[in-house]
Structure 1
């Protein structure tokens, strides 16, 4: 059964708890979403608050995918670029699908929904994202139409002696 997507959902305790749980579960399953396992909801909460502040200020839009039970199953944050010469593209951050739903095509659904949302934003011509090398995420994003446009070797240190490339990818929306 496909996910149901909502752009700019009402932020409340149910959504907060759903996103925090999703983010914790994805991180602990090895997902490259800003943390290295093990993490708890309390570890994630400050980052959620930062994302939420950007949403409340209108700098970021939240896209949520709900499963057939109405639970938060996927998220992506679309952030406007504030540099005056780069306002024609947006950033895509914290792209997550719950581990129990992986392998069902929900990641592709989420990426398509994010692209669809971005196309509805006035003046936006492309989506840019970064991903951690060594995870296979770059291959997944490439399969969704993104092209690698840059790479910073060893920019992400997940542990002493374990440095990963920071891979920059772009999806033109035209």
Structure 2
């Protein structure tokens, strides 16, 4: 079974709730998507609202992957860079695959769909993302074509005494 991807789906209350649930499930399974477990949907909701506002303002695009049952199984947000000298690349944020789908290649599929979506955007030549060190994420992204282009040591404080590097990754689209 593969995922079916949709860029810019209509945001209904059901989709909003599905993305919120996905985000909580990924976070609570140890996913590196801005929170440390345990976390509730109510704690995540303000971050999702920020993404939804950016979508409404045309600054962010939502990519949704649905499994064979139609359930939201994966998401990523593509955000335009607003700096006038950096508008030729987009940020990829909140890259998530539901824990029940881990190990099926869906993460790779999601990144490929995100790259395809970025290629379709006028003037976009690259995708940038950051990831949390200490989890091997940079190896995964590297295997999908991303190159490490920078690292800030101990920039992310997961817990007292547990600081992780913030790793910057770039995928040229040409």
Please indicate, yes or no, whether the TM-score normalized by the shorter chain is above 0.5. yes
Aligned residue number for residue 141 of structure 1? 141
Counterpart-to-counterpart distance in 1, 2:51 and 2:136: 25
Matched pairs, number: 174
Counterpart-to-counterpart distance in 1, 2:14 and 2:154: 38
Aligned residue number for residue 48 of structure 2? 48
Aligned residue number for residue 123 of structure 1? 123
In angstroms, what is the RMSD of aligned CA positions? 0.4
Return 5+ residue gaps in structure 1 as ranges. Answer: none
| Post-superposition offset of 1:14 | 1.1
Counterpart-to-counterpart distance in 2, 1:55 and 1:13: 15
Counterpart-to-counterpart distance in 2, 1:139 and 1:173: 19
Aligned residue number for residue 87 of structure 1? 87
SS state at 1:30 partner: coil
Where in structure 1 do 4 or more consecutive aligned residues deviate above 4 Å?
none
| Post-superposition offset of 1:77 | 0.2
Aligned residue number for residue 160 of structure 1? 160
Counterpart-to-counterpart distance in 1, 2:68 and 2:105: 14
| Post-superposition offset of 1:146 | 0.2
Q: Per-residue CA shift, 1:84-103, capped at 9, x if unaligned? A: 00000000000000000000
Aligned residue number for residue 10 of structure 1? 10
Return 5+ residue gaps in structure 2 as ranges. Answer: none
Counterpart-to-counterpart distance in 2, 1:14 and 1:46: 17
| Post-superposition offset of 1:72 | 0.5
SS state at 1:165 partner: strand
TM-score normalised according to structure 1 size: 0.99
Counterpart-to-counterpart distance in 2, 1:69 and 1:130: 31
TM-score normalised according to structure 2 size: 0.99
Say yes or no: does 1:24 pair with 2:24: yes
